Amino acid sequence: LGKVEDSIRSSQKRLDDIRAVNREVQERQTCSSLLPEVGEKLHAVHQAVNSLENILSPVIMSDDSVSLDETLSAIKAGEEAMKAANKASSAAKICIAMKRVEVKRFTADTGKEANRKLNDYQKELDVAVKKVNDLKTAAA
């Protein structure tokens, strides 16, 4: 009976180890599908910020060769581009927050790695938001 109990304990330990490895593999797979979505959102933010920068560059440069009508149309287009940039940054911010909640369920190693990447994405987003605010101030 003792040998059977030892065999059961060792089998249970192996089963627990297999479950832990399986969970870690599933978490890594989930993590690999979570982070590209955030990257796509940040790419949209960068595109919107670049578009805003291109639209507002004539206004910011204050070039005297630019007519009043061109300046007004650039400001109107800039307002629309600013709305698009703010919308994209809000979507990215929400996406990052949602992914952080999902990552909290992960085990230590996978969670730390995903959190580090999300922190990097958050820093990128903060830089983009600051750039939008700087452009807004410069165009005012």
DSSP 36: H
The model scores a pTM over 0.75: no
pLDDT tens digit sequence for 68-109: 777 777 778 888 888 888 899 999 999 999 988 888 887 777
The whole domain housing 73 covers 2-139
Q: Is the pLDDT of residue 56 over 80?
A: no
CATH of residue 125:
1.20.58
Mean pLDDT, residues 18-27 taken together: 83
Q: How many structural domains comprise the chain?
A: 1
- 58 within 8 A of 66, measured Cβ to Cβ: yes
Residue 66: count of CB within 10 angstroms of its CB = 13
Mean pLDDT, residues 54-72 taken together: 72
